[in-house]
């Protein structure tokens, strides 16, 4: 990741109440098709904006792996979870999209929310995602649309259009569903892992 990586000193922005209006978690969760017992990797989990509702949706029989390259982010998520005593199904993992530290074939779903535009090696991230997904597992990419003005979000020139992401996925053997806008500034794209 490099200069495009989110600065952990800006973590307060991830907790801005306005974010709930322009990127409602319920809208994203509805597209993830979550079921109790699923094993989900939230790559770039940050302070848990999606990790906590996903862990709640998959229930105690499921497992959410909150992966983040920044230990500070994982610490913030741990502190936040201390007030949500019922959630015991989250595992904290220091890693990134290229090297998640997760086991091969252990996940049903990988979510990369606002991570794709930060990647220096998208093809490497796809290889790692394929490795940690079970056969037929899904990758969900949520990222910033380049056709809407900021703030919020990264500079427009850092944003990658959904069409371009879909083309890369297909070129690497992934089956993609049509992308769709989510919230005010984002797009959502789901893909099925190719067979090894």
Q: Spell out where the chain has E strands.
A: 39-43, 63-68, 90-94, 107-113, 133-144, 175-176, 180-182, 186-192
pTM of the full predicted structure? 0.91
Q: Which of 2-11, 32-41, 90-99 has the lowest average pLDDT?
A: 2-11
Per-residue pLDDT at 15: 67
Domains of the chain with bracketed CATH: 8-192 (3.40.50.150)
Per-residue pLDDT at 20: 82
Q: Is 129 left (phi over 0), alpha (psi -120 to 50) or beta?
A: alpha
Q: What length is written for the chain?
A: 196
**Mean pLDDT computed over every residue of the chain:** 91
Judge whether 58 and 64 are in contact, CB under 8 Å: yes
Q: Which of 19-28, 81-90, 132-141 has the lowest average pLDDT?
A: 81-90
How far is residue 96's CA from residue 29's CA, in Å, rounded to a whole number? 22
Average pLDDT over residues 155-177: 96
Higher local confidence (pLDDT), 173 or 85: 173
CA neighbor of 73 nearest in space, from 8, 152, 148, 118: 8
Q: Which of 15-19, 32-36, 83-87, 128-132 has the lowest average pLDDT?
A: 83-87
């Amino acid at each position: 990741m490099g200069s495009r990586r989110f600065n952990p000193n800006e973590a307060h922005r991830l907790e801005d109440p306005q974010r709930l209006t322009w990127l409602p978690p319920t809208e994203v969760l509805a597209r993830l098709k979550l079921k109790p017992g699923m094993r989900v990797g939230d790559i770039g989990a940050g302070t848990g904006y999606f990790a906590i509702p996903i862990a709640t949706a998959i229930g105690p029989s499921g497992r959410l792996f909150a992966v983040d390259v920044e230990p500070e982010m994982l610490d913030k998520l741990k502190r936040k979870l201390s007030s949500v005593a019922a959630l015991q199904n989250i595992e904290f993992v220091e890693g990134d999209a290229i090297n998640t530290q997760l086991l091969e074939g252990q996940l049903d779903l990988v979510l990369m929310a606002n991570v794709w535009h930060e990647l220096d090696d998208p093809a490497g991230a796809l290889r790692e995602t394929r490795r940690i997904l079970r056969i037929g597992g899904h990758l969900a990419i949520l990222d910033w649309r380049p056709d809407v003005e900021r703030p919020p979000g990264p500079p427009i020139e850092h944003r990658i259009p959904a069409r371009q992401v879909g083309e890369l996925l297909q070129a690497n053997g992934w089956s993609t569903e049509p992308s769709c806008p989510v919230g005010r500034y984002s797009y959502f794209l789901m893909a099925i892992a190719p067979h090894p």
